[in-house]
């Protein structure tokens, strides 16, 4: 075990280790078993002792690597990013909506704006994001979400009409891809209400708390459904997810030449948000997505950079 010289970095790491452990619903004994160390070592790693560096220990480089792989992030992110917000589902939910235009970017060209359908979709798309970005706290989220699904469907319909114009197929396809990705992130979250989040070593209720804040009314609504109605709803959700996943493949082909960085970005995002078309565990997909995003950032991908730094 080594000592960390930078008090600020040591504090960040200690807080991150604790926040991420709690995020995945694990206790110190769980993590000690995974890292093959004693429980008091985990306690020392998480010690936030700003007044006495001598009391604080950090994991070895090899242990940090195992930590990062377990949590589905990079060692750099573990040491430098601020994950304390994970302890506050309300803050996490608000941040998601306030950064919606970074997570799901919108593109536009002068040529595309000459198309009435694209222009209508684009303006409504901007208005929807402005509406969501104005969220100040979790109490206002419910009001903001009331008309989102209807608005999103209308936006997608306008974009599909614009897609008939071959000259603006790339920008139109990218914006539909953004809409579908937003929709899929919500649909896979809806699945979580029914199935829970399965992690490699634990089943965490934390994401359910986040989802309660992102979709305040939804949990109460599904409680009133009969077993048959719930099964029907799950079936509809699964069908819609499958349809969206198939359409995404076509949209990528339409836009890959003009917007390669965005195509790569959305590829990483679909793993990170767990709507990739596979049967992997959520934690495994998340790890793949983060590693891809980190690689794209290193290659200078603007969208990956903006996302990781937002």
Do 117 and 194 lie in one domain? The reply is yes
pLDDT at 93: 75
| Boundary residue ending a domain (58, 86, 114) | 86
Angle at 289 between CA 287 and CA 290, to 5 degrees: 65
111, 152 Cβ separation under 8 angstroms: no
Quickly tell me which residue has 């504090």 as its tokens. Answer: 11
Residue 1 lies in a domain: no
Q: Domain of 15: which CATH number?
A: 1.10.260.40
Do 168 and 231 lie in one domain? The reply is yes
Residue 2 lies in a domain: no
As a whole number of angstroms, the distance between CA 82 and CA 19 comes to 9
Do 122 and 154 lie in one domain? The reply is yes
Do 78 and 147 lie in one domain? The reply is no
pLDDT at 208: 55
**CA 192, 196, 201, 206: dihedral to nearest 10 degrees?**
80
pLDDT at 260: 97
pLDDT at 1: 31
* Domain extent at residue 63: 7-86
How many domains does the chain divide into?
2
Do 75 and 117 lie in one domain? The reply is no
pLDDT per residue, tens digit, the chain (310 aa), is 333 435 566 778 888 898 888 877 788 998 898 888 998 899 888 886 554 555 567 788 999 988 888 887 778 878 877 777 666 666 777 888 899 999 999 999 999 999 999 999 999 999 999 999 988 876 677 667 667 878 999 999 999 999 999 999 999 999 999 999 998 887 776 665 555 544 433 334 444 555 555 555 556 666 676 778 777 877 887 888 889 989 999 999 999 999 999 999 999 999 988 888 888 877 678 778 888 998 999 999 999 999 988 7
pTM over 0.85: no
Quickly tell me which residue has 């634990």 as its tokens. Answer: 202
C-alpha closest to that of 180 among 241, 121, 103: 241
Do 98 and 202 lie in one domain? The reply is yes
| Boundary residue ending a domain (70, 86, 102) | 86
Would you tell me how many other CB atoms lie within 10 Å of the CB of residue 111?
A: 12
Do 51 and 176 lie in one domain? The reply is no
Do 25 and 149 lie in one domain? The reply is no
Do 223 and 157 lie in one domain? The reply is yes
Do 52 and 137 lie in one domain? The reply is no
Residue 57 lies in a domain: yes
As a whole number of angstroms, the distance between CA 154 and CA 128 comes to 11
Do 80 and 37 lie in one domain? The reply is yes
Residue 97 lies in a domain: yes
Do 129 and 51 lie in one domain? The reply is no
pLDDT at 222: 63
Residue 169 lies in a domain: yes
pLDDT at 189: 65
Q: How far is CA 55 from CA 39, 43, 277, in A?
A: 16, 11, 47
Residue 201 lies in a domain: yes
pLDDT at 2: 34
As a whole number of angstroms, the distance between CA 106 and CA 177 comes to 10
| Boundary residue ending a domain (48, 70, 86) | 86
State both tokens at 140: 């206002």
């Amino acid at each position: 075990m080594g000592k960390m010289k930078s008090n600020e970095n040591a504090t960040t790491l200690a807080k991150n280790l604790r926040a991420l452990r709690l995020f995945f619903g694990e206790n110190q004994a769980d993590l000690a078993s995974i890292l093959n160390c004693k429980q008091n070592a985990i306690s020392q790693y998480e010690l936030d002792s700003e007044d006495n560096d001598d009391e604080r220990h950090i994991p070895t480089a090899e242990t940090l690597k195992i930590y990062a792989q377990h949590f589905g992030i990079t060692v750099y992110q573990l040491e430098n990013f601020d994950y304390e917000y994970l302890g506050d589902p309300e803050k996490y939910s608000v941040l998601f909506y306030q950064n919606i235009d970074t997570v799901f970017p919108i593109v536009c060209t002068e040529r595309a704006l000459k198309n009435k359908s694209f222009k209508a979709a684009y303006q409504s798309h901007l208005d929807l994001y402005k509406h969501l970005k104005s969220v100040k706290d979790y109490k206002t989220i419910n009001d903001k979400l009331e008309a989102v699904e209807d608005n999103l469907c209308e936006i997608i319909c306008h974009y599909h009409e614009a897609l008939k114009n071959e000259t603006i197929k790339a920008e139109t396809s990218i914006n539909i891809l953004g809409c579908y990705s937003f929709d899929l992130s919500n649909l896979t979250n809806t699945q979580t209400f029914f199935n829970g989040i399965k992690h490699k070593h634990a089943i965490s209720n934390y994401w359910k708390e986040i989802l309660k804040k992102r979709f305040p009314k939804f949990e109460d609504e599904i409680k009133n459904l009969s077993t048959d109605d719930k099964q029907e709803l799950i079936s509809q959700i699964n069908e819609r997810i499958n349809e969206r996943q198939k359409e995404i493949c076509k949209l990528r082909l339409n836009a890959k030449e003009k917007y390669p960085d965005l195509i790569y970005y959305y590829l990483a995002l679909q793993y990170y948000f767990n709507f990739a078309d596979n049967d992997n565990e959520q934690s495994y997909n998340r790890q793949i997505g983060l590693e891809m995003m980190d690689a794209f950032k290193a290659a200078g991908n603007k969208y990956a950079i903006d996302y990781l730094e937002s």
